[in-house]
């Protein structure tokens, strides 16, 4: 099942650990596919921005939970600092 195509973001590629967690959660994966590439990029950047492994794992878990709840952007995240102001 890990051969599934899971879309990434605009600037950031989807990391393997986040990809595998989404594949293991059909509800979160369906929501992930439904959000915009820019929104996916923000979730990816939020996960990638974690300094400690425990923080990263917690953010991956929260990503799944927030997607299951219907949220389309990470909670309390100002946005990807790597994205240009033009949205590209």
DSSP output for 15-39? PHHHHHHHHT-HHHHHHHHHS-HHH
In the block, tokens 């990470």 appear at 74
Number of residues written out for the chain: 88
Token pair belonging to 57: 């794992």
CA dist., res. 7 & res. 28, Å (int): 13
Q: What's the pLDDT band for 2 if we cut at 50, 70, 90?
A: low
DSSP letter assigned to residue 13: P
Percent of the chain with pLDDT over 70: 83
User: What pLDDT, in 10s, does the model give residues 41-81?
Assistant: 999 999 999 999 999 999 999 999 999 999 998 876 666 66
Q: Taking the model in full, what pTM does it have?
A: 0.83
């Amino acid at each position: 099942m890990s051969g599934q195509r899971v879309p990434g973001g605009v600037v950031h590629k989807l990391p393997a650990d986040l990809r595998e967690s989404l594949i293991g959660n059909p509800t979160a994966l369906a929501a992930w596919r439904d959000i915009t590439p820019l929104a996916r990029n923000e979730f990816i950047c939020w996960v990638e921005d974690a300094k400690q492994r425990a923080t990263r794992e917690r953010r991956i878990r929260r990503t799944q939970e927030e997607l299951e709840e219907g949220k389309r952007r990470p909670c309390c995240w100002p946005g990807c600092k790597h994205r240009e102001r033009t949205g590209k």
